[in-house]
Amino acid sequence: MVDTGLEAYRFSISWSRLIPNGRGPVNPKGLQYYNSLINELVSHGIQPHVTLCHDDVPQVLEDEYGGWLSEKIINDFIAYADICFKEFGDRVLHWTTVNEANVFALGGYDLGFTPPGRCSPHVGIGPCSRGNSSTEPYIVAHNMLLTHSSVFRLYKRKYKSTQHGFVGLNIFAYRFIPHTNATADEGATLRAYAFYLGWFISPLIFGDYPVTMKDRVGSRMPTFTRQESEQVKGAIDFIGLNHYATLHVKDRPSAFERDYRDFSTDAAIQLVFEQGGITPKGEYPWTQPGLRAVLEYFKKTYGNLPIYIHENGQTTPRNATLNDTGRVEYLHAYIRNLLDAMRNGSNVRGYFSWSFLDGLELLDGYKSAYGLYYVDLDDKNLTRYPKLSQQWYSNFLKGKSRKSNVNLEIGKEVSHSSESEFSS
């Protein structure tokens, strides 16, 4: 990290590693592990940015009361966060309660492709043994918002005056654009933003869900009491934003007329991903970066709240090549796009490239890679090799290059994996 020139590192704390039973005694080895990591970062001048929940909940709480499906998780999560603030808050200033809260609710409780894999049989992407896609995503989101705001209030009351830190929530954001110039598609695009972003951000800014969501979801949408609305409103120091690509939005009115409803049919939209002519299969397009548009939407709709870009990066097959020119092109285009947004007044406080190292990806396992460093999984020492993108990004951070096309020698090439393997 020091060699690359990084000033901050974002990681998550595993609730189960720190408190194996979800509540009660703290695991001393878990405490030691995170203290060692944080101390090592700080000793090298690298700011730790910590996420408290990244899709993982102690299994005992999942078994006992269904995890995020129950309001019981609020008090348990508050106690967990309290321990983290107490033990690590003297060195950690930036806290994120939940990573990609909107994806967590949808992937885990509507479509079933992320933990805990719940969905209705005829709705989910993967096979689900249990779940109700019509109601559970909204219940989980509601409990997340109540939990987040409770943790925010705890920090403000108990730790803010001495630790001077900040508490935020992370969400995933596509840039949405109408598929055609038709009025229906333009309206569908506004609904897409309301459902995917406003679902979590509107309560934190205005104290309630977007009107279009409440109208369409009806009685399945949980409601805030007056006290809860006051608790949630304003309970955020910053938004953590994960952004990768642009989606086109089509109006799909027939979906809203179905007997069985879930998040997608409530929104009555169809999302279309267009690869782009020059972009290799399996990579995100970089010719029309959408980060500025997303930031402009946030500024216009929710005010100029501080934003950290927590994730932005390019995907490639894991064993593709160290000469990852597509990632260089992507980073260059998106960072320039971010700079345009900042020049136009967006209150962006930091940018994290996803990811520093090739890792275990949530959806693809080890098939895809986002890292600036290649990790050789066939080597027992897990040797790391800098990719072209690492050298470009490092030069950029150190002010050594303003050019988009860098020509640097790579010491090692790795074999190409087949497209069919990547697409599977």
Q: What CATH number is associated with residue 130? A: 3.20.20.80
Say what the pLDDT of residue 12 is: 97
Residue 370 lies in a domain: yes
**Token representation of residue 192:** 């897409």
- Lowest-pLDDT range of 38-42, 348-352, 360-364, 384-388: 360-364
Q: Is the pLDDT of residue 421 over 70?
A: no
**Token representation of residue 119:** 């969905």
Confidence grade of residue 413 (pLDDT, cut at 50, 70, 90): very low
Residue 272 lies in a domain: no
Cα(193)–Cα(259) distance, integer angstroms: 24
Residue whose entry in the numeric block shows the structure tokens 């925010």: 152
Q: Is the pLDDT of residue 409 over 80?
A: no
Higher-pLDDT residue of 68 and 253 is 68
- Lowest-pLDDT range of 124-128, 363-367, 411-415: 411-415
Count the Cβ atoms, other than its own, within 10 Å of residue 398.
Answer: 10
Residue 275 lies in a domain: no
User: Known catalytic residue: 100?
Assistant: yes
Phi, psi of 373 (to 5 degrees): -115, 135
Residue 200 lies in a domain: no
Confidence grade of residue 401 (pLDDT, cut at 50, 70, 90): low
CA dihedral 401, 406, 412, 418 (to 10 degrees): 130
Residue 207 lies in a domain: no
Average confidence score pLDDT of the chain:
91
Mean pLDDT along residues 127-148: 95
Phi, psi of 241 (to 5 degrees): -120, 125
- Set 62, 283, 311, 329: catalytic member: 311
Cα(100)–Cα(120) distance, integer angstroms: 22
Local structure of residue 357 (DSSP, 8 states): B
Q: How many angstroms separate the first and last alpha carbons of the chain?
A: 33
Domain count across the chain: 1
Identify the bridge partners of residue 175 per DSSP, sorted by sequence position: 246
User: Known catalytic residue: 136?
Assistant: no
Instruction: Give how far Cα 99 sits from Cα of 12, 130, 267, 293, Å.
Output: 9, 24, 23, 22
Mean pLDDT along residues 300-328: 93
Residue 295 lies in a domain: yes
Q: Where are the alpha helices (H) located in 55-129, listed in sequence order?
A: 59-65, 72-88, 101-109
Confidence grade of residue 277 (pLDDT, cut at 50, 70, 90): low
- Set 100, 136, 228, 283: catalytic member: 100
Residue 38 lies in a domain: yes
Mean pLDDT along residues 25-30: 97
Provide the domain limits for residue 136.
Answer: 2-173+234-241+286-398
Whether the CB-CB separation of 330 and 314 falls below 8 Å is answered with yes
Closest CA to 93 of 102, 105, 84, 106: 84
Residue 342 lies in a domain: yes
